[in-house]
Amino acid sequence: MTGIRAVLFDFYGTLFRLEEDESWFHGMEVDEREVDGHVQAELMRRLTAPTGQHVDLPGDTYHAWVNRDLAPHLHREAYLHVLRESGLAGHHAEDLYARVIDPQCWTPYPDTADVVESLHRQGIKTAVVSNIAFDVRPAFASISAAGFVDEFVLSYEVGAVKPDPAIFETALQRLGVDTAHAVMVGDSDEADGGARAVGCGFILVDPLPTTERTDGLRTALADYGVRL
């Protein structure tokens, strides 16, 4: 747990979280009933769960779902289908999907900016390694942290999706760090834990609401031997 020269971070549930605002759902109905808190939570879960299938996905839609993080148009097709199958009218599905792909709608965990800045100042390289089909760099710019991240390795830009070893190997090659001196931090053992297959360490964090996890990154890295 010593000698860490690079930390790879997942995006959703690790550094940022998509947390709904009630205003997003104003006037929306699911199966002709007003969207309440329970339904809001379920819709958000379906939009952000890193793995799993939540509605029937016939034919071409299944192809779009499986490959959603490799191309923006497939991501859009897949999630609009999920929202419509969840009972949202077409225009409401479009409105909610627009929130998903807007980096300004994502909430940073309270310690995100401080952690990436501290790693940068210590000379420990960082990369954001995410299964995603839109550019998350503006989210980091909004908290003045973009300059502290060395690499953004996004599935739709590199053509590989976690847990495919290729996405982790790409990140480490770009950083110029050997796997034995790197650790991946993420909220999905299935996806992010794939880093172990290339010899990288792995730290699992809980994707709690941001108000409930104020120092989770700092604590997890400290437990692994990375002092911030």
- What are 215-224's pLDDT values in tens digits? 999 999 999 9
- What are 69-120's pLDDT values in tens digits? 999 999 999 989 888 888 888 788 899 999 989 988 999 999 999 999 999 9
- Predicted TM-score of the model (pTM): 0.90
For residue 106, what are its two tokens?
Answer: 């994502």
Q: Confirm if 164 and 129 have CB atoms less than 8 A apart.
A: no
CATH number at residue 136: 3.40.50.1000
Is there a single domain that holds both residue 110 and residue 207? yes
Q: What is the pLDDT of residue 220?
A: 96
- Specify the DSSP class assigned to residue 180: G
Q: Is residue 58 part of a domain?
A: yes
- Domain end (from 101, 131, 156): 101
What is the C-alpha separation between 217 and 224, in angstroms, rounded? 11
Is there a single domain that holds both residue 63 and residue 123? no
Is there a single domain that holds both residue 193 and residue 220? yes
What is the C-alpha separation between 61 and 83, in angstroms, rounded? 13
